[in-house]
Amino acid sequence: MENLKAMNSIYVGWDSREDIAYQVCEHSILNRSKTTNVIPLKQNELRDSGIYSRDTDKLGSTEFTFTRFLVPHLQEYSGWAMFCDCDMVFLIDAQEVFDQVDDKFAVMCVQHNYDVKEGTKMDGQLQLPYPRKNWSSMVLFNCGHPSNKKLTKELVNNPTTTGKYLHRFSWLKDSEIGELDYSYNWLVGHYKETEITKPKVLHYTLGGPWFDNMRECEYSDVWKKEVINLYSSQ
């Protein structure tokens, strides 16, 4: 942890179809943390700057399907940084997640183990089952780890580099993937609270209240309260 900078960086995936989800996620982080910078990971900006050049992925469910793997490059292969999907709400200070880092790992994430049954996502995109599903939806990248030097801009942009290869962390050995508690990537609709287990970061992976057909989904009240706090603070 001594390698952490004074301010932690969290790259949040931004999608033009889910701007409100991004805004709420960003607010939930910044409202609870004084040690965190939030950086929107916008594909169009990465294209304009020459960092991202892949053709549009018709099977990609979001605009950040591939760009999340540019985080070590964007960090100049130094220090730790986090990526997370925009459909998340932090209920804790993000510093708590960064406090889990262990320099022996190249990445750290919640290692979900569940079967996907949904054939179509909330936005009409296909819900495809694959090993290590949702592991890459929140990732702590040890950007200076030698194995992450393989995660170059050229590799991410190469059309032969598949989503499966990246989302399964196939450039790494299994021993280089550290595990976070599942409370830090609580899959709404999959995990259930107990007296001792509560969510710390909600992930509306099946769709959140910003979609018409998910207005009253589980934990919708939490997201709606965050929206109210967001607009009342502006």
Which domains does the chain carry? 8-232 (3.90.550.10)
- Cα–Cα nearest to 36, from 99, 114, 75, 93: 93
Reply yes or no on whether the pLDDT at 193 is more than 60: yes
In angstroms, the CA 89 to CA 177 distance is 24
H or E stretch covering 230? helix 220-232
Reply yes or no on whether the pLDDT at 4 is more than 50: no
What does the DSSP assignment read for 72-85?
HHHTTT-SEEEEE-
Looking up tokens 């603070």 gives 233
In angstroms, the CA 213 to CA 218 distance is 12
DSSP H stretches of helix in the chain: 19-30, 43-48, 71-74, 95-98, 153-157, 163-167, 220-232
Backbone phi, then psi, for 84, in 5-degree steps? Answer: -145, 150
Query: Comparing 139 with 123, which gets the higher pLDDT?
Result: 139
- By the 10 Å C-beta count (0-12 exposed, 13-18 middle, 19+ buried), 88 is classed as buried
pLDDT at 133: 78
Q: Check: CB of residue 86 under 8 Å from CB of residue 123.
A: no
Q: What is the pLDDT of residues 92-119, one digit of tens each?
A: 999 999 999 999 999 999 999 876 655 5
pTM, rounded to two decimals:
0.91
Three-state secondary-structure class, residue 25: helix
Q: What is the pLDDT of residues 143-169, one digit of tens each?
A: 999 999 999 999 999 999 999 999 999
Structure tokens at 164: 């499966």
